[in-house]
Amino acid sequence: MSAPSNSLDDLQSDIGNLAHLLAVLYDQTTEQQFERADGSRNTHADEIHALAMIARDLAERLNASADACHHKVIADRKAAG
- Mean pLDDT of the region 5-10: 77
pLDDT for the residue 74: 87
Listed range (6-10, 28-32, 55-59) with the worst mean pLDDT: 6-10
Is residue 33 helix, strand or coil?
coil
Residue 41 per-residue DSSP state: B
Is 80 exceeded by the pLDDT of residue 2?
Answer: no
Question: How many Å is the Cα radius of gyration of the chain?
Answer: 18
Is 80 exceeded by the pLDDT of residue 18?
Answer: yes
What pTM value is reported for the model?
0.78
- Mean pLDDT of the region 36-45: 95
Using 50, 70 and 90 to split pLDDT, how confident is the model at 70? confident
